[in-house]
Amino acid sequence: MARWQPNASQRLVTAALELFEERGYENTTVIEIAERAGLTKSTFFRHFPDKREVLFGGGTMTGLVVQGIAAAPAGAGPLEAVAHALDVIGKEAFTLDRREFGARRQAVITANPELREREALKGLGLTASMVDALKRRGVPALTAHVAAELGALAWKIAYERWSDTTNDEEFGELARQTLAEVQAASALC
């Protein structure tokens, strides 16, 4: 096996997605994923705790969210800090060259209840990370919770829009538009 080759983590993700599409999530093993990637089972477990996590990027998104909120301009309000984090995610993770992969990934997740549950739990964790990052900026707890929830909703909607391969807008742009729409809709409630 070509264990020395670079990008083991990305190779595992690609192999897993291909196998999940071909055989279904339930019918794919960690060993098969590792073999398809040209790696060993132990290498798989150095990168991911289980086969569900291979589609969810470990803590990458959490790190980007926290980094984006912390790096927002000093005078930015809570929603602007969240928007800044969504911009960072768009530049670092949801690039145009990853759109097709994102759409394929989402189709696999949608087809499997266990993966939908994992996605929901990841979403809750990301929202909690947003809340914590906003509080570290001095945002009051209730305001931080509201801004994080609105940001999470905007993120979800923007991701669905971005995953549409007929859409040519960048994620950050879509996320800002969606955040403004969500904010306007919440004012009507």
In a domain, 3, yes or no: no
CA distances 106 to 17, 32, 123, 128, 158, Å, are: 10, 21, 14, 22, 13
Domain limits for position 23: 8-54
Name the pLDDT band for 4 (thresholds 50, 70, 90). low
Residue-level pLDDT at 72: 97
Whether residue 112 sits in one domain with residue 69? yes
Whether residue 108 sits in one domain with residue 33? no
CA distances 177 to 39, 57, 157, 170, 184, Å, are: 41, 25, 10, 11, 11
For the cut 80, the answer to whether the pLDDT of residue 59 exceeds it is no
Whether residue 75 sits in one domain with residue 104? yes
Whether residue 83 sits in one domain with residue 62? yes
Residue-level pLDDT at 47: 92
Whether residue 118 sits in one domain with residue 70? yes
Name the pLDDT band for 167 (thresholds 50, 70, 90). confident
Stretch 130-144: mean pLDDT: 98
The CATH number of the domain where 179 resides is what? 1.10.357.10
27 burial type by CB count under 10 A (0-12 exposed, 13-18 middle, 19+ buried): exposed
Residue-level pLDDT at 96: 85
Stretch 171-187: mean pLDDT: 91
Choose the weakest-confidence range: 25-29, 59-63, 109-113, 143-147: 59-63
Residue-level pLDDT at 5: 65
Stretch 60-84: mean pLDDT: 94
Distance CA 41, CA 47 (A): 10
State how many domains the chain has.
2
Whether residue 109 sits in one domain with residue 43? no
Name the pLDDT band for 1 (thresholds 50, 70, 90). very low
Residue-level pLDDT at 65: 94
Whether residue 28 sits in one domain with residue 81? no
Closest CA to 160 of 144, 181, 143: 181
Whether residue 27 sits in one domain with residue 110? no
Residue-level pLDDT at 3: 47
Please give, one letter per residue, the 3-state secondary structure of the chain.
CCCCCCCHHHHHHHHHHHHHHHHCCCCCCHHHHHHHHCCCHHHHHHHCCCCCHHHCCCCHHHHHHHHHHHCCCCCCCHHHHHHHHHHHHHHHCCCHHHHHHHHHHHHHHHCCHHHHHHHHHHHHHHHHHHHHHHHHCCCCHHHHHHHHHHHHHHHHHHHHHHHCCCCCCCHHHHHHHHHHHHHHHHHHC
> pLDDT tens for residues 74-133?
999 999 999 999 999 999 988 888 899 989 999 999 999 999 999 999 999 999 999 999
In percent, the amount of the chain with pLDDT more than 90 equals 77
Whether residue 179 sits in one domain with residue 94? yes
